Amino acid sequence: MSDSPAAERRERILRAAVRERLLDPDHAVLAAFVDLDAVAASVEALHRAFPPSVQALHTFAAKANCLVPVLEELRTHGMGCEVASPGELAQALAAGFAPERIVFDSPAKTRSDLDQALALGVAVNVDNFQELSRVDEILASRSSTSRIGVRINPQVGSGDIAAMSTATATSKFGIPLEDAGSREQLLQAYRDRPWLTWVHAHVGSQGCPLNLITQGIAKAVAFADEVNADLGRRQVIGIDIGGGLPVNFDSDETAPAFDEYVAHLQADAPALFSGDYQVVTEFGRSLLAKNGFTAAYVEYTKTSGGRPIAITHAGAQVATRTVFMPEAWPLRITAHDPTGSPKSGEAVPQDIAGPCCFAGDLLAQARPLPQLEPGDIVALLDTGAYYSSTPFHYNSLPDPAVHGVRIAADESIQFVLVRPAETIQHVLARTGAA
């Protein structure tokens, strides 16, 4: 029996996918699903969390799910788009985002990247002083309608996952605020450039507690205040506070929620809510992760060293972080029979393995689940962000189909193809076959 409305909804979707052969033991052994109704609810919760006094543009971090139909869906709900590469910029434009609702963040923008963004009017967050000099060169020859800011590193420290923490003392991102001479050089940059009107900061994401994130944003707001006080005018008009709200991967609860995050911001950075600054956010994982799951068939089972092992079709190619950093990125996994219904029976510790040809391709070790058998299905929960939308092409495994899902007023389940499954011909094409 389902233990939450979200679990019941997933089970209905999974059973419908089996009935419609979107999952099939011969032809569709792996597929991902994005609950579009739930995505809309998450976006609504984000918009509702910020008070009307704040003029906010909420952008979606395209890296979290760069599939163009998903981006299109987010655009219809009033989101902008944050991009971090020429490919993501192209995807955002293909999804119909107006350039002025796109923000370009990357620590490695080329001259042509900058030239394109500034020509289109895409907002640009400059990562370093050398990049700022490139922007100077471009703007010397023509004007731009782009909002331009500098990414500062508030240097507030690391969360639990170092790789997800972007405001450490030695982070590769942004201009360090506390390094010797750095603050004065930043202030001079704003004095010399009246078109430098934004400040950007992003502290990190998964593993970063709310107080760490909001302390970093508070330092960005204080720096914006300092710039305006130094210049004697309101030159900085906006703060891009990034995203990074962590996701609870332990249950169906959405925690922390956007309103909890905003409450922390109001306590630590009250000036952000004064009406003096426009605000941009860049949430990704927190909008999509809990609104998707990945399902895969069990192909074989065996016992080795006394431990049961289920060989499935989901592994490092769709759960890269979980496989390579299992302690930091554990996933909930549910067991289902061939119809998609939950399996019953005593929970038995068993390894859930993927199809990739290396020993570490494990989704979970000694995970207590009802005994899995060939033809059963496992579901990887909370994988609406990153996972299947950003596959890892190990062993030249084909990318799985991704399906959007809605439940209509009459309770019927409606699927829309977001990304078709790759065929072997597609694999050959992307690996250079004639």
- Say yes or no to pLDDT of 425 above 90: yes
CB 91 within 8 A of CB 68: yes
Ranges of beta strands (E only) in 131-247 are 148-153, 175-176, 196-200, 238-240
List, as one string, the DSSP characters of 309-366: EEEES-STTT-HHHHH-TTTS---EEEE-TTSPBP-S-EEEEEEE-SSSSTT-EEEEE
**Helix runs in 77-128, H state only:** 86-94, 111-120
Task: Considering only CA atoms, give the Rg of the chain.
Answer: 23
Give pLDDT, residue 26.
95
Question: What pLDDT is recorded for position 2?
Answer: 57
pLDDT tier, 176 (very low <50, low <70, confident <90, very high otherwise): very high
Q: Is the pLDDT of residue 167 over 90?
A: no
pLDDT at 130 over 50: yes
Residue 169 has pLDDT above 90, yes or no: no
Residues in the chain: 434
CB 64 within 8 A of CB 385: yes
Q: Mind listing the pLDDT tens digit for each residue in 234-272?
A: 999 999 999 989 999 999 999 999 999 999 999 999 999
Tens of pLDDT, residues 285-314:
999 999 999 999 999 999 999 999 999 999
3-state secondary structure of 222: helix
**Range 103-120 average pLDDT:** 98
- Would you say residue 429 has pLDDT above 50? yes
CA distance 352 to 334: 11
Structural domains of the chain, ranges and CATH numbers in brackets: 5-35+290-430 (2.40.37.10), 36-288 (3.20.20.10)
C-alpha span between 70 and 94 (Å, rounded): 11
The set of residues, in sequence order, having a beta carbon less than 8 Å from that of 100 and lying 6+ positions away, is: 121, 122, 123, 145, 147
Q: What is the average pLDDT score of the chain? A: 96
pLDDT, residue 208, reads 86
Q: What is the pLDDT of residue 193?
A: 98
Distance CA 116, CA 66 (A): 20
Beta-bridge partner residues of 417: 403
b or e along 324-359 (b: 16 or more beta carbons within 10 Å of the residue's beta carbon)?
A: eebeebebbbbbbbbebebbeeeeeebbbbbbbeee
